[in-house]
Amino acid sequence: MFDILIRNGRVIDGSGNPWFKADVGIKNGKIDAVGNLAGEAADRVLDASGLVVTPGFIDPHSHTDWSIMKNNEAISSLQQGVTTEYVGNCGGSRYFPITEKNKRLALMGMADLFRTDLDKVSLDWSDFTGFKKKLDEIGIGVNLACFVGHNTVRRGVMGEEDMGGERPVPTDDELEEMKRLVAEAMEQGCWGLTTGLVYKPGRNSKTEEVIELCRVAAGYGGSYMSHIRGYRSLEGLKEFIEIAEKTPIRSVASHQDVRMYAKNKQLVGPSLEEILLLFDNARKRSVEIYIDILPWGGYSSSSMVSILLETKDHFDENGKRLTLERFMDQLRDNLSESVRLSLSIPIFSRFQVKNNISRSKINVQTAELNRQNTENQLRKTIEQAYNDLVSAAKNHEAALEQLRSMERSYLDTERKYELGLVNATDYLIEKNNFENSRFSLTRAKYEYIFTFKILDFYQGKPITFLTMDG
């Protein structure tokens, strides 16, 4: 006697085999039998004729942990057949680990979720064990495979940006505390570490910091998943591969989309061939890396207004949630001029705003990538300008020494010519060599001055000129 009997379905069991027709018997919440169960009875019988019966789908990249405390049944996932979700992605395990430095932001996230004021919510746990206990109390509709988020850990130890998290390099004590929090989360059952290297405050971290934390997760058999730096950039993918290889750790580059449509529907980002070449070469070196991909052509990193108003902007200085009127006032204040012109507050075109914000978001990400590239190029240019300056100084010194030598030879030849000891041809050759040396010195001098000007320009500060003879 089964609790539930699913008859006549096309069963796909996940083994890779084609579908086969079978019945599925369920008892005590688990699959008890698969096959021809024609003579069996059940409390509830479902006819799946013409339908597919499969195990629950696994969503490898989800943020359900941010909403599960309110939408604990996870109906939106179950309706799509998803029964297991990997959460804590993009560096954000919002509700653990909790410290005094990140607790207020976690409370704001919870208050925002329940649409209430800060004094109406509380967190009575600080680690993954406490978070699991809370979920067990409320009951949840899906399985969660939880990862610990780098941004949450970094914020918990170094603080939010402008409070310490903006620093690219933690102190030794801070790094050790971050490693301790990752180890604690792994010991309590987390599956690994995630990063969101375009988000606060993890975007400020160096590659070496991520590697150190990944080594902790790897020590417990954990994995690494990353919203890479400079999303959809080859440089970000190269850093991802470097982390995976140097740790080493099983790693997944999250939500890759080969290219995206930007302004005027121009394709931007690396091509499929470029991405696969990087990954193929790394896997030939035995680097265990994977990609999960978006099943659509565009993407969304957050809600359409969250790029203008962060979670903390939803509350006033006393922790009271803003009214709609106050919220809209603040939204107007934070809108860029180009977006503001597209609005007619309080009545505006939702689609026009969405398009403008999407373009603005792309421009922000592109500008950040350009800034990083420009800084790298400027550093290389300054180094090259300095090397050119050193080379020009050496050339000037050599030209000056040559001129002095040619001057001595010319004057000696001139005296011999006046005494009739050399003929006119030899005298004119020496004179011409001397004039050429003077020209070479003048050219070297101006090259020297020009390279000084170039270095002065790129460094953005005046350079004192050295005194030059000649």
pLDDT tens string 209-233: 999 999 999 999 999 999 999 877 8
Choice among 171-175, 363-367, 393-397 with the minimum mean pLDDT: 363-367
Domain residue spans of the chain: 2-55, 58-293, 373-459
**Res 284: pLDDT:** 96
Of the pLDDT bands very low, low, confident and very high (cuts 50, 70, 90), residue 328 is low
Q: Is 58-293 a domain of CATH 3.40.228.10?
A: no
Of the pLDDT bands very low, low, confident and very high (cuts 50, 70, 90), residue 422 is confident
**Res 307: pLDDT:** 44
Of the pLDDT bands very low, low, confident and very high (cuts 50, 70, 90), residue 167 is very high
**What are the E-state strand segments in 231-280?**
251-256, 260-261, 267-268
CB 262 within 8 A of CB 358: no
pTM, entire model: 0.65
**Res 384: pLDDT:** 73
10 phi and psi angles, rounded to 5 deg: -90, 105
CB 278 within 8 A of CB 241: yes
**Res 270: pLDDT:** 78
CA-to-CA distance for 85 and 71, rounded, in angstroms? 14
**Res 134: pLDDT:** 97
Decide if pLDDT at 358 tops 60: no
- pLDDT > 90 in the chain, percent: 53
Q: Domain 2-55 is in which class?
A: mainly beta
**Res 460: pLDDT:** 53
Decide if pLDDT at 73 tops 80: yes
- Residues 130-142 have a mean pLDDT of 97
More confident residue, 466 or 97: 97
Of the pLDDT bands very low, low, confident and very high (cuts 50, 70, 90), residue 342 is very low
Q: For residue 175, how far is the Cα from the chain centroid?
A: 20
92 phi and psi angles, rounded to 5 deg: -120, 90
Task: Please name the residue that has the structure tokens 């006119």.
Answer: 424
pLDDT, tens digit, for every residue of 27-48?
998 999 999 999 999 999 999 9
Dihedral of the alpha carbons of 453, 455, 458, 462, in degrees to the nearest 10: -70
Mean pLDDT of the chain: 82
More confident residue, 334 or 428: 428
Residues 6+ apart with CB under 8 A from 223: 147, 191, 192, 193, 217, 249, 250, 251, 252
Residues 6+ apart with CB under 8 A from 141: 72, 73, 74, 75, 77, 78
